[in-house]
Amino acid sequence: MMVVLATTFNPRGEIGRLRRLLPELLAVYERVIVSLPPTATPEDVVTIQALSGVHAFVNDDWQHGRYRALKAALESPAQAVHYADMDRLLRWVETRPDEWRQTVEQVRRAECLVIGRTAAAWETHPRAMFQAEDIINRVFSYLLGQTMDFGAGSKGFSRRAVEFLMANTWPARALGADTEWPVLLHRAGFAVRPVFVDGLDWESADRYQEQAADADIQRRFAQAYDEAAQNWAMRVAVTQEIIEAGLDALRRPLVANAASLRTVELRRHTMRVKPGQRLSQAGVELARRVGSAAGPFDRVITSTIPRAYETALAMGFAVDEQLEALGMIDDGVENEVAWDAGFAAWAAAARLGGTAARYVQKQAAFVREVAAALPPGGSALVVSHGGIVEAQAVGCLPDADHAAWGGACSWCEGARLMFDGEKFVDAKILRVGSK
Q: Torsion angle of alpha carbons 13, 14, 20, 25, nearest 10°?
A: -160
Per-residue pLDDT of the chain (435 residues; tens, 9 = 90+): 789 999 999 999 999 999 999 999 999 999 999 999 999 999 999 999 999 999 999 988 888 999 999 999 988 888 899 999 999 999 999 999 999 999 999 999 999 999 999 999 999 999 999 999 999 999 999 999 999 999 999 999 999 899 899 888 877 788 999 999 999 999 988 999 999 999 999 999 999 999 999 999 999 999 999 999 999 999 999 999 999 999 999 998 887 655 567 899 999 999 998 888 889 999 999 999 999 878 889 999 999 999 999 999 999 999 999 999 999 999 999 999 999 999 999 999 999 999 999 999 999 999 999 999 998 778 999 999 999 999 999 999 999 889 989 999 999 999 999 888 888 988 889 998 643
> Both ends of the chain: CA-CA distance in Å?
39
Q: Say which residues have a Cβ less than 8 Å from residue 39's Cβ, sequence separation at least 6.
A: 10, 62
Are residues 344 and 403 in contact, defined by beta-carbon separation less than 8 angstroms?
yes
3-state class (DSSP) for residue 198:
coil
Which residues are CB-contacts of 82 (< 8 A; sequence separation ≥ 6)?
3, 4, 5, 6, 29, 104, 107, 154, 155, 156
The answer to whether the Cα torsion of 421, 424, 428, 431 is positive or negative is positive
- Coil, strand or helix at 426: strand
Class of domain 258-430: alpha beta
Torsion of CA 43, 36, 433, 247, to 10 degrees: -160
User: Measured between alpha carbons, how far is residue 251 from residues 121, 135, 146, 226, 347 in Å?
Assistant: 33, 20, 20, 35, 22
State how far the Cα of 11 lies from the Cα of 93, in Å rounded to an integer: 17
Q: Are 174 and 62 in contact (CB under 8 A)?
A: yes
DSSP string for residues in 78-126: -SEEEEEEHHHHHHHHHH-HHHHHHHHHHHHH-SEEEEEE-HHHHTTS-
3-state SS of the chain: helix, strand, coil percent to 5? Answer: 50, 15, 35
Question: Given this model, what pLDDT does residue 170 score?
Answer: 79
Q: Tell me which CATH code domain 3-251 carries.
A: 3.90.550.10
pLDDT score recorded for residue 277 = 81
CA angle, 15 as apex, 92 and 122 as ends, to 5°? 30
DSSP conformation class of 324: G
pLDDT of residue 76: 86
Residues 408/390, Cβ–Cβ less than 8 Å: yes
Q: What is the pLDDT of residue 260?
A: 66
Sign of CA dihedral 59, 61, 64, 66: positive
Helix (H) or strand (E) segment spanning residue 192: strand 192-197
Output phi, psi for 367, to 5 deg: -65, -35
pTM of the full predicted structure? 0.65
Plot region of 180 (φ>0 → left; ψ -120 to 50 → alpha; else → beta)? alpha
In 10 A of CB 233, how many CB atoms?
A: 11
Closest to 88 measured CA to CA, from 171, 8, 185, 193: 8
Secondary structure of residue 237 in the 3-state scheme = helix
Where along the chain do its domains lie? Answer: 3-251, 258-430
Q: State residue 207 phi and psi, 5-degree precision.
A: -60, 135
Largest CA distance in the chain: 73
pLDDT value for 77: 85
